[in-house]
Structure 1
């Protein structure tokens, strides 16, 4: 059939009769070897690019960026009634991202309903119905700034309304064999539940824990709603509005918990190259372990890790202040330390104005208001090319503080900022305490040496300085908390490309006026070499030392790893901590995009060690399991499950997720199950309702998601395989994909009177998808055949009759189906 159509098109092109006065093509049907030349519908082929007037669901492609599908109307041109033009309505214009000067020049036609593309020089458009896309080319001079991964605010989408529940559950069972050691099971979890309505995101964070000892003692199950809040993006002013319970987000003042309102310019809305850095947590785990990162009691992240060095780098960039880190190893040891989320110097680009304003009352973890009404505000202004001025203030009750600072871009020498904060606090039955705090920050990126980043910070607070958090603690009766004195922070990450050598150093030192100092440093050194037949052999050394709350902890970790097979790595690891040594060999293999495992065994000072770790990422959740054993000491098993559920009016699905309450995308194949998607994170497949959730979508980035056509079943055909979208924080994006599902077969169609349908008539299924085009004698190659389904035969742009497919489709689809259209 395909050869007949091809020959027909060639002959039509050769013998076409064209008119000099019109672009319309008249086909010479005499050259076709057909029995009934009069029974031919070639109207849709008569003019190049001609589209019948009407409405079409099309994606809109602006240069290289694709906007969501929408209904586009086509009307006859006012200059030439034989030509049709697409109608871009005023509602679509904001999505294009035109500059103000270009917007003022726009002209309209069809009673002001449609954009006249000729009003801007160089703007062109064309429609490809085969790709269901309207392509619009616009000179860059008319458009706001954009990049391959970022769209201007006009194209950001708020997503659709819906409900969500994200969770992260961890369970560990430890059986100790040492006299007096504790054995038992603990289950803990945390996550976010919430709802999206228009631009608002309503969220409730939760955390839970249950412990049971083998002695029969058990602690009561504890479930805490740690935070209730709502937020939305204010695109016009590049800001984020948050209402409810939150932690003070400030570049100048220490963080504390409050209930109230916050309005701040959101750096996440800036292009990627203008955004800041997120904090990271690093260390070494001697055994399989669980890392819990919290702030003032609220768990921010909880994750299980295998033995060895770890770096957690996916924390929210909005997190500020001190973070409490607790590492629970399967052998029962617990390590604790604090990390200060110091950022790069407070610099603002020339002409840019950044601000943060907060009003509310301090509150505690139990949602009780504790403290007076307060207000806080700060700003940063890029006053010239290289200089930045920033200032802020906070006050409430008998406390107030003011801060003033200046930053300087030193060009080749890096960036430097310095500020001073003065405070005054009146405590009950005491005189007013007054003091000052000085801070200096420095950062330098050595691009010529291979993307190295250094950060150094120093802060000194005199004995009379008090933070708002310390003042608030007096309302809780907490008067013995440590008062900060000096803090040193140093971070260095350097690469020596010629040596294939990478170094990393992180150092934090905090002294207090009324308690012992805390400090922590991490150092790592790694090098990649080729040895004999082995390529990319990696050598690494990691050392750490930690002192926190008068408890000291230090250790060293060495490893040698080399590729083993196509997707495996064999390693030797040696560690030393608290006088104990462990020599260990391990094997890691990535089985597929969704599965990986690690097994290890070794000899320790206290016995023989065995362990393993397995990870599986499915469409519905991420599953981790770990096990460890030390002869004569203990045996342990760990499990974790991470995922979520999202429900919307368009449908919903279970899914995996690592960022609780974060942005996601619902993809819809209209009841076609098992369609594989890739592009963001690991691959997922649609459920039995044709729905899947793409989790961990980046906010304010241009995200692309595509059907993996290489893994598509033979009985599926994707008419559209790629979609893009830029979504605001916490949004539930929605994209519909046109997928035909069903068997494929040659068929012969007859009308009620026994005659064949016109040549060129189209067959559509119940989803209005074109499944075939009638050839000579009523033959058609039909796709999407479903038992008992009805299809519609259409010509002259009208539905003519219906084709009822048989209830049972022949097993041998090479046979020709005989179908009637009535």
Structure 2
């Protein structure tokens, strides 16, 4: 059990609970009390008269070690080590008794080295002691100004060192020594969707399966992401998105990747490659020193399937109910590159649009940098062969105002060089860069095309005016400029005898994303837009969306207007008005929401939707929705039903919709399987960095704040979404556990590597809990603070106030020994016999009884 901790508050409570006759005794007055009783001195500690704790003549408890504040018994305890509030490690710490009877932590040389001391400021005696043969050092003897306090409840040693002797560390700093590579483990994240639809007498079935799998061995993490698409009458096709091995290199705050992956897109646009990449990892920096996948919004008319592609590859596919949808949980695939979105309605109709993806003002803190080196081949299914890809980029914060960056891309008969800077000003962050590219082409008179591309960017974030991320970027390219992907497509067309005139060469491009809160509860507006025209193509790409949202009392409403160019070059406009209101008090859980919307586009198509959605059950693990829709132009009325259940092992979804001349049904399953040496763990959540919680006997205990996440019958749970290189606190809620199971600790902190599967073991103590009210044979109470041992010599409890013993025992029948000193007169024993306990049943109550402690 945790070491016993006696606080001064406890002693005051004890005094307040003593009989009035004793409180009236002259021994408690200031004039007659011993000079040391109740005295508090920072140097000598507090001294207490043992008469307050013992009303018998059998002897008093030795309290000298408690005179120096809360203390523990000498021994070794596993605990967290905190320095000035910053966690630096978790170690087995030896506590030794000092000549003054105080018990102090004794730190090893390695523990001291984990503390970020400024050795130039430490006294010479400190450094001399570390050079000696001594293996254990009482910190107080090395550095008298340091203070230490052991919190036995949290199992944490809190050390305070004057800042003079410490190096300055950034807020959020976690020492790389605390980063956890995790245990060998296999990961299989899955997302499976099946759809069937019948329209005008024709039935078609389709299915989609996406996997995010991996294998962790030591510091090497293998990852494979892929998707399988199947359509009736066409068959199935599996596409590999990424397959690579990665390993972190903390010494350079970076990572090496070998295999198939995507470039970061911080200077050049994101490209899919097969090869080797060495890149920096910003998340290894403290959270206070870190310098974006976008949100995909759209409107679905029925139960629809939304497919998101980047560079022609499917990176996500989900089923959405009718109405406005928002997808904000994309896996990052770089910092630049347009996302192509396809919405397939239940009746078979399709709408397409694009989402610009760029972060333009790459400002860094002074002295910090990012780097990226790639050597490999371009992955593009539209090319007849693989083309070499060599890329190097570098960004560095030159001062508080300026960040400079540049990069080089090269391949067969192609190179591109870019230089630029970002500037921080009071009115926002600006960036400007210029790129020069040369492409060797046989069809050109000079056998080459060369040109420049100029880009201006602007970004501003104003939390005081409720502004969100605001980005505006404009790029102009001369007629001879080609970016990497355009150049290799032109070369590939030549190699296959095709004209390069069909390869579109961008001329200018503009994209903007602005979100602005309005004052005085006037709501919020946002604008997103993208346009691009070409040197050798008449029509331009165009898409923009404007929105306004606000709320009045419990009603939330939104107005969205969008304009885009469709696949045949015609312009389309779309307007949507929607509102939402809770059907009940907002301070209650699982309150349903009523939604209604009006939608109209430039083709004269208009419609109305009304729906109710909500959640139910413990932890809101069930969710549901029903929507009714009516559209003109012969579409007619339709109805859609949706449901979701987040079980402890998987997340299940289902949907059904019916309308004029069509019916559609879908079902989905998602989650993650984790395999490690302790077994197989299933979770309804997806992710890449997990913690496996092991708490034997704690089945049913809730873990963290995730819906449906509980310890399974085998004592396991998988916690998702850990923040890499940061301290994540994993808490087990013991509420609802049977009385015969006790968690030794309910909270642990861990800082995993990105992609790691860490193993956190929560020790449990199983046994019968007893509350025994006991007295000595002469009727007096057993002394407070006495230790209780079972017949095997295990310390199973402590005597509390009024002779009450709380103990957790292994046997249904035993004899307990109570000791408050070494003398035979300072010991007694108490026997207990429990009623027979049903096998296989949880103990739902505390066993209470009274007994005499025989001396």
TM-score bracket relative to the smaller structure: 0.7 to 0.9
- Is 1:223 the equivalent of 2:238? yes
Aligned to 2:3: none
Instruction: Give the alignment partner of residue 711 of structure 2, picking from 671, 686, 692.
Output: 686
Aligned to 1:541: 559
Paired with 2:814 and 2:154, the residues of 1 have a C-alpha distance of 25
Q: Give CA-to-partner distance per residue, 1:304-346, whole Å, 9 cap, x none.
A: 2222222322334452322222222223222223333111313
Instruction: Give the alignment partner of residue 735 of structure 1, picking from 747, 757, 760.
Output: 760
Q: Give CA-to-partner distance per residue, 1:131-159, whole Å, 9 cap, x none.
A: 32212234556254343x65354543333
CA drift at 1:561: 1.8
Paired with 1:293 and 1:467, the residues of 2 have a C-alpha distance of 23
Instruction: Give the alignment partner of residue 329 of structure 1, picking from 345, 350, 360.
Output: 345
- Is 1:761 the equivalent of 2:812? no
Contact 1:67 1:724 in 2 (8 A): no
- Is 1:204 the equivalent of 2:224? yes
CA drift at 1:365: 5.8
Length-normalised TM-score, structure 1: 0.84
Indicate the larger mover: 85-94 or 520-529: 85-94
Aligned to 1:298: 313
Residue 65 to residue 388, structure 1, CA distance change in 2 (3 Å): closer
Q: Give CA-to-partner distance per residue, 1:675-701, whole Å, 9 cap, x none.
A: 11224x435211122221110122234
Paired with 1:296 and 1:241, the residues of 2 have a C-alpha distance of 23
Instruction: Give the alignment partner of residue 748 of structure 2, picking from 691, 704, 723.
Output: 723
Contact 1:540 1:559 in 2 (8 A): yes
Secondary structure of the residue that 1:225 maps to in structure 2?
strand
Aligned to 1:676: 702
Q: Give CA-to-partner distance per residue, 1:680-739, whole Å, 9 cap, x none.
A: x43521112222111012223432232335565666544433333333311223333344
Paired with 2:821 and 2:113, the residues of 1 have a C-alpha distance of 33
Residue 286 to residue 775, structure 1, CA distance change in 2 (3 Å): closer
Residue 186 to residue 273, structure 1, CA distance change in 2 (3 Å): farther
CA drift at 1:407: 2.0
Paired with 1:587 and 1:277, the residues of 2 have a C-alpha distance of 33
- Is 1:167 the equivalent of 2:187? no
Gaps of 5+ in 1: 530-534, 751-755
- Is 1:158 the equivalent of 2:181? yes
Instruction: Give the alignment partner of residue 541 of structure 2, picking from 510, 518, 532.
Output: 518
Aligned to 1:532: none
- Is 1:253 the equivalent of 2:268? yes
Residue 66 to residue 208, structure 1, CA distance change in 2 (3 Å): same
Q: Give CA-to-partner distance per residue, 1:335-371, whole Å, 9 cap, x none.
A: 2233331113132333333222222233456999712
Aligned to 2:108: 89
Aligned to 2:94: 73
Residue 118 to residue 383, structure 1, CA distance change in 2 (3 Å): farther
Instruction: Give the alignment partner of residue 595 of structure 1, picking from 612, 618, 622.
Output: 622
Paired with 1:722 and 1:66, the residues of 2 have a C-alpha distance of 14
Q: Give CA-to-partner distance per residue, 1:575-625, whole Å, 9 cap, x none.
A: 224543221211222335333322222322222221122233333222222
Residue 318 to residue 608, structure 1, CA distance change in 2 (3 Å): closer
CA drift at 1:81: 7.1
Contact 1:652 1:693 in 2 (8 A): no
Paired with 1:797 and 1:580, the residues of 2 have a C-alpha distance of 90
Gaps of 5+ in 2: 1-9, 586-590, 776-780, 823-827
Indicate the larger mover: 616-625 or 413-422: 616-625
Secondary structure of the residue that 1:331 maps to in structure 2?
coil
CA drift at 1:24: 10
Paired with 1:695 and 1:731, the residues of 2 have a C-alpha distance of 11
Secondary structure of the residue that 1:685 maps to in structure 2?
coil
Aligned to 2:825: none
CA drift at 1:498: 0.9
Paired with 1:551 and 1:801, the residues of 2 have a C-alpha distance of 93
Secondary structure of the residue that 1:470 maps to in structure 2?
helix
Aligned to 2:521: 499
Instruction: Give the alignment partner of residue 300 of structure 2, picking from 285, 306, 318.
Output: 285
Paired with 1:121 and 1:151, the residues of 2 have a C-alpha distance of 26
Paired with 2:52 and 2:470, the residues of 1 have a C-alpha distance of 79
Contact 1:519 1:546 in 2 (8 A): yes
Aligned to 1:307: 322
CA drift at 1:547: 2.7
- Is 1:489 the equivalent of 2:511? yes
Contact 1:291 1:304 in 2 (8 A): yes
Contact 1:358 1:376 in 2 (8 A): yes
Paired with 1:683 and 1:273, the residues of 2 have a C-alpha distance of 32
CA drift at 1:503: 0.9
Paired with 1:278 and 1:571, the residues of 2 have a C-alpha distance of 28
Contact 1:131 1:719 in 2 (8 A): no
Greater Rg by CA: 2
Residue 763 to residue 510, structure 1, CA distance change in 2 (3 Å): farther
Residue 116 to residue 669, structure 1, CA distance change in 2 (3 Å): same
Contact 1:98 1:144 in 2 (8 A): no
Q: Give CA-to-partner distance per residue, 1:519-563, whole Å, 9 cap, x none.
A: 22122111212xxxxx23112112223335436654222112222
Q: Give CA-to-partner distance per residue, 1:471-516, whole Å, 9 cap, x none.
A: 4444585864433222110111111131331111110112233444
Contact 1:483 1:513 in 2 (8 A): yes
Paired with 2:566 and 2:112, the residues of 1 have a C-alpha distance of 57
Q: Give CA-to-partner distance per residue, 1:648-686, whole Å, 9 cap, x none.
A: 335552112243xx212222223421111224x435211
Contact 1:17 1:25 in 2 (8 A): no
CA drift at 1:196: 1.9
Equivalent pairs counted in the alignment come to 789
Contact 2:434 2:455 in 1 (8 A): yes
Contact 1:289 1:304 in 2 (8 A): yes
Aligned to 1:125: 148
Contact 2:436 2:451 in 1 (8 A): yes
Contact 1:95 1:155 in 2 (8 A): no
CA drift at 1:127: 1.3
Secondary structure of the residue that 2:215 maps to in structure 1?
strand
CA drift at 1:188: 0.7
Contact 2:408 2:416 in 1 (8 A): yes
Aligned to 2:689: 663
